[in-house]
Copies of this chain bind each other. A is one copy, B any other.
Amino acid sequence: MAVYTDITEAELRAFLSDYDVGELQSYRGIAEGVENSNFLVHTTTGQFILTLYEKRVNRDDLPFFLGLMQYLAERGVSCPLPVHRRDGGTLGELAGRPAAMVTFLEGIWLRRPMPVHCAEVGRGLAEMHLAGEGFGLTRRNSLTLEDWRPLWEKSKDHADALDPALRPETEASLERLEAEWPRDLPEGVIHADLFPDNVFFLGDSLSGFIDFYFACNDALVYDLAVCLNAWCFERDHAFNLTKGRALLAAYNATRPLSDAEIAALPILSMGAALRFMLTRLYDWVMTPEGSLVVKKDPLEYLARMRFHKAIRSVTEYGLDR
């Protein structure tokens, strides 16, 4: 949660002068997102989120992310809509960073989602997958199977300090994932990071998705595996079967899962748990001691890996067969 790059009024006015958005009224840095600098911008015509893309985002990927939001929004998915300049472009530069402005989405992200919200996410995710069909750009998932071992090599020496079980269990998981990773599942555009802080609600209804900066082309059901990890475990890392059932049933009702997708759910969920454990471990190692940035605990995902590894039937996720 940080603003890495501050901007002056003069810089912002110059940037906005290329848009038909009225007069600048205020802008405030917002403490959301850990990768980029975000500002809430008020003008006489409305409210917008201005994002300055910092180092961790590859500039070449921005047309994919912005184009995807535009494509999904046009097809009825509630997500931020990139604002076009008068010359038609959506990607500009501000304070030496690539920068874009999107519409502000009302809504609240849920710190403690309930089963009803998991159902909303399942339905919404399936609708997003269907809406993404036909999107013309592609982007490789840069945090999938092939990327995990190199990431692990960079941080594994610090694993023991967290938990002596982390290293052997991760290495066993990597081997199993490399041997069993399914390859012929239906693919499409996935969000790939659909955690509660990326989903807004108004009351109990889903009001929108944000933060498409990990979106890519991959197995659709992998996105569902990410959501199982992100939405259906409790604070004590116990799986909540009611939430799992709500998520999966709602997804399946909107976009029916094939037998192959259902069979792949445990291994994909284990992979998703490993992926988040690895990036958290990497950030853990790289974030200086005492920093005010909240370090997310990698061990939460060791517990999830164990759960997925022990799954014998998808009924244990709450999916009725």
A29 and B26 form a contact (CB under 8 A): no
Nearest-neighbour CB distance to chain B for A155, whole angstroms, equals 17
| Contact between A30 and B30, CB atoms less than 8 A apart | yes
Residues of B within 8 A of A26 (CB): 105-108, 200
Residues of B within 8 A of A108 (CB): 9, 24-27
Check B107 against A10 for contact (C-beta < 8 Å): no
A265 vs B42: C-alpha distance when bound (angstroms): 39
Q: Is the CB of B106 within 8 A of A42?
A: yes
A236 close to chain B: CB less than 8 A: no
- How far, in Å, is A45 (CB) from chain B's closest CB? 14
Contacts of A10 in B (CB 8 A): 112
Instruction: Count the copies.
Output: 2
* Chain A 100-130 residues near chain B, CB threshold 8 A: 105-108, 110-112
Cβ of A202 within 8 Å of any chain B Cβ, yes or no, is yes
Whole-angstrom CA separation of A30 from B38 in the bound complex: 10
Q: Is A94 an interface residue (CB 8 A)?
A: no
Which stretch, A63-71, A131-139, A290-298, touches the partner chain B? A290-298
**Are B28's CB and A32's CB within 8 A?**
yes
Chain A residues 144-203 with CB under 8 Å of chain B are 200-202
Size bracket, chain A contacts: 35 or more
Distance (whole angstroms) from the CB of A295 to the closest CB of chain B: 12
A20 on interface, CB distance cutoff 8 Å:
no
Nearest-neighbour CB distance to chain B for A142, whole angstroms, equals 24
Interface presence of A311 (CB below 8 A): no
A8-B111, A9-B108, A112-B10 given; A292·B25 CB < 8 A: no
A73 within 8 A of B: no
Does A288 touch B at the CB level, under 8 Å?
A: yes
Given A9-B110, A28-B40, A106-B26, also A290-B290 (CB < 8 A): yes
Check if A263 is an interface residue, CB within 8 A of chain B.
no
Chain B residues with CB below 8 A from A201, complex form: 9
Near B by CB (< 8 A), chain A positions 1-60 give 1-3, 6-10, 24-32, 40, 42
**Least CB distance, A319 to chain B, in whole angstroms:** 28
Q: Which residues of B contact A107 (CB under 8 A)?
A: 25-26
Give CA–CA (A31, B290) in the complex, Å. 19
Q: Given A9-B111, A289-B288, do A3 and B31 touch, yes or no (CB 8 Å)?
A: yes
Residues of B within 8 A of A200 (CB): 26
> Does the CB pair A106–B29 fall under 8 Å?
no
Q: List 7 A-B contacts (CB under 8 A).
A: A9-B111, A29-B30, A29-B32, A288-B288, A288-B289, A290-B291, A292-B292
